[in-house]
Amino acid sequence: MEEHQKAYVAGIIDSEGSIELLFKKCRKYRCRIKMCDDIVIPTISKWIGKDFNNPESKGLIIEISKNDSVRILTECYDYLYLKQPRAKLFLTAANIRRECTNLYTEEETELWNNCFEKLKIFNKRGKTDFVDNEPREHKFHWAWLAGLIDGDGSIIINRWKIGKRIIEKPTIQLSLTNHKTVDYVANILELNSKNHSDKREYRKQPKRIRIMPTNLIHIVPKILPYLTFKKELAQLALDICLLRQEMPNGQYNHKNVAVVKNKIEKMKLLNQNKYIH
């Protein structure tokens, strides 16, 4: 894979991937990516050289074997952020290179079990008070952020009431229960991150970044070449922001108003259709 492909796949794994160690009758390794779209999965399937399947349940899934998981996670490791500690535990356990329980030495069994227990805690992070303080060595790439937004981000039209007028503007939002990741992205983009309420009591309170039009104009061109799932939405959002710059104080009597309204309606329609083209 090329560098931008590795970074993008890392962003998708960070948002929609799962990295697991399983222990029933024997030790097993599982890495998979599941998304409810028909754009991202076929694209990265070609990049990583793995087929995807379409089960009866909603979404497409790439199931990755142990050896392929080791290869892919090793290639993408430097670009992973949220799941870099999980990838490290997975690769450490996989390095033992044995499948059957009775072939492990006492030291190897202890090492594998330690990785297994730690990974279980990481994978329950959204339902517990677990605080992720693991250090990272992240190699930032805009393609990684594009993958994260394609997975967990949203590009929507927000409404504000100013006096008697309703102003509609495009916004990019990224909301995650892993606060460390949100703070990291906020620091890179020089934005503020805020706690966001979640009505589901069993979930940890997520944190959110909101990219408003003023910053959107500068950020979208950097991620646009790498977006796949939400590329059209991002382009529409950028077009609207650029056109609005020509509108005096947002007044609705400008020549570009009709064009802006059409693009806003198109964004709403794409979001209603769950981004399916």
**Cα 58 from Cα 69, distance rounded (Å):** 23
Q: Give the helix ranges, DSSP H, for 128-209.
A: 142-152, 179-189
Residues 81 and 138 sit within 8 Å (Cβ to Cβ): yes
Domains and their CATH numbers in the chain: 3-127 (3.10.28.10), 152-272 (3.10.28.10)
- Looking at the DSSP bridge assignments, the partners of residue 53 are 61
Q: What are the tens digits of pLDDT across the range 194-243?
A: 876 655 555 677 889 999 988 999 999 999 999 999 999 999 999 988 88
Nearest to 70 by CA among 98, 30, 111, 42: 30
* Average pLDDT value over all residues in the chain: 85
Identify the band that residue 72 occupies on the pLDDT scale cut at 50, 70 and 90.
very high
> Considering the chain, what percentage of its residues have pLDDT values greater than 70?
86
**Cα 11 from Cα 8, distance rounded (Å):** 5
Q: What are the tens digits of pLDDT across the range 163-193?
A: 777 888 899 999 988 889 999 999 999 998 8
**Cα 231 from Cα 228, distance rounded (Å):** 5
Backbone φ and ψ for 48, nearest 5 degrees, come out as -90, -5
What lies within 8 Å, CB to CB, of 256 at 6+ separation is 243, 244, 246, 247
Mark residue 163 as left, alpha or beta (left: phi above 0; alpha: psi -120 to 50; beta: remaining): left
Backbone φ and ψ for 30, nearest 5 degrees, come out as -140, 130
